[in-house]
Structure 1
Amino acid sequence: MTMNVLVVRVFADEGGRYGNELGVVLDTQGLDGELGPKLTARLGFSETVFVDRIDDEGAHVRIFNPTAEMKLAGHPLVGTSRVLAEAAGTQPAVLRPRLAEPVDTWREGDVTWIRANSAYAPDFDFVQHTSPACVDELPVPPLEEQAHHQHWSWIDEPAGIVRARTFAGRIGIPEDEATGAAAILQAQRLGREVTIHQGRGSLLHVRPAKAPGWSEVGGRVVTEPSRVIEL
């Protein structure tokens, strides 16, 4: 079948560079969920989103990595929020992942935000290093050696600025450019607002929400040319 995929980069820097690519497919209600991982793998992205429908309760979505459907992921939800805002002309108030609790979403200036329950985020092992240089120097390991790890260091602890890299071999991703779910968990681990510089130059903003266990993560979203994919 032919699929029209809207493409954005999520968690871009102030100049609109870098960020993690995301594919979004609209009007997917009734499509076989097995198409999601196949499409993600074909695109070479870490995640794609199927938007099943939009109704009075919000946008009902499914999130896929190259191997399975996911409960919660940060950059897919931030990116989908912006895609729907541009497609419909208004920012959706709620995104409803099929396997997780509803996610509030909004925009502050040029940053799109979501508020999510960290209990639905994938598990990560967090490895703290003594300096950003140590993080930068890490080689990308073989997939089987880094199941789901984020390596990080403070760039400026008083200012809440973090350097991070994420390896996700368990789901077939050697290195993820910008990992919103890990940022959601970092906000809970550190108990404070932080700015994360991840990958080649991506920028993530994250902070604990008022409700215990909930976090807010936001970033800039840049539109890329859409793609037509045959599956």
Structure 2
Amino acid sequence: MELLRYVAFSTDPSGGNPAGVVLDATDIDEPTMAATAAKVGFSETAFVVPLNDGSLAVRYFSPLTEVPFCGHATIATAVAYAQLHGVGDLRLRTKAGPVSVSTRSTQDGSVVATLVSVETRTAPIKPPTLAELLTALCWPAADLDPELPPRAAYAGAWHPVIAAASRGRLSDLDYNMPALTDLMRRNDWATVDLVWRESPTVFHARNPFPPGGVVEDPATGAAAAALGGYLRELQLVSPPATLTVYQGYDMGRPSTITVGVPAQSSSGITVTGTAVPL
């Protein structure tokens, strides 16, 4: 097995979110994938199997579990693939559905990748579940942004979107890990997308990922796509729109995610970023 290590959503290896990438996992079984991801210890490791029709089957494993879709590992995989085979378009087959990715080279020689998510949707969070979530986060309900209502959002995986009223509230994160892990597993949530809106198109985010064995994700492309779908469905942004999501700054691993929100509700959300080898 050739295991590559990349950082996604940053041009600096000390920033962004690390991901493992195996570009040919044809003969690797599921237990080996899971054990490899646990040993690597990154929030996700992507395992790619080239198919006869030219598409790529991709599975994503965290140290503790498999997830149906992962944005930062997709960006890392696309960049790694482009650096080996050249830039162009890729068709990925994920457990969440088909995901297209395009890569291009920039003038400085780096590679930028853009993925198109599966169709997005949202769902309400029941009041008792929301109360349990806020208790696990140690966040008073009064600290939430009333203009961005709590809601579960989907763009390949489910992420509750919880908006803080201030940057200070977002910065102060000290949650109950066992309680949040249990709640997220019961509700099939991948990460919790904690956000603060700096402006109509600029957001700061933090993403606890305890079910995967990760205290916090430095950059979460799937959650950024889900956020874009959430904002579009609730008419909290005027599409077409381009959003910037800053994540990882409170962890010392700054990341920048660019999110494209098309006007049509049936169109997937685009997530753009670069990746560099570790």
Q: TM-score, normalised by structure 1?
A: 0.85
Once the two structures are superposed, the pairs formed by residues 120-131 of structure 1 within 5 Å of their partners are 121-131=156-166
CA contact (8 A) 1:24 1:50 kept: yes
Count of matched residue pairs: 218
- Shift in alpha-carbon separation, 1:187–1:22, aligned structure 2, 3 A: same
Q: Deviations over 1:107-144 (max 9, x none)?
A: 35453110120455221111111122221122254243
Aligned partners of 2:49 and 2:78: how far apart in 1? 14
Structure 2's unaligned 5+ residue stretches are 121-153, 185-190, 233-240
Of stretches 178-187 and 116-125 in structure 1, the one that deviates more from structure 2 is: 116-125
CA contact (8 A) 2:65 2:211 kept: no
Structure 2 match to 1:189: 230
Structure 1 match to 2:210: 169
Aligned residues: percent identity?
A: 25
Determine which structure has the larger helix proportion and give its number.
2
Of stretches 190-199 and 105-114 in structure 1, the one that deviates more from structure 2 is: 105-114
Once the two structures are superposed, the pairs formed by residues 218-229 of structure 1 within 5 Å of their partners are 218-224=272-278
Q: Deviations over 1:64-99 (max 9, x none)?
A: 2223332211111111010000111x2252232342
- Shift in alpha-carbon separation, 1:153–1:107, aligned structure 2, 3 A: same
Write out the 4+ residue segments of structure 1 that deviate beyond 4 Å after TM superposition.
Answer: none
Partner of 1:76, secondary structure, is helix
Q: CA RMSD, aligned part only?
A: 2.1
- Give the structure with higher Rg (CA): 2
CA contact (8 A) 2:13 2:277 kept: no
Q: Deviations over 1:6-29 (max 9, x none)?
A: 11000116x565111011113211
Structure 1's unaligned 5+ residue stretches are 225-231
Aligned partners of 2:100 and 2:218: how far apart in 1? 24
CA contact (8 A) 2:88 2:103 kept: no
Partner of 1:214, secondary structure, is coil
Q: Deviations over 1:13-69 (max 9, x none)?
A: 6x5651110111132113111222221111110111111125543222222222333
CA contact (8 A) 1:143 1:170 kept: no
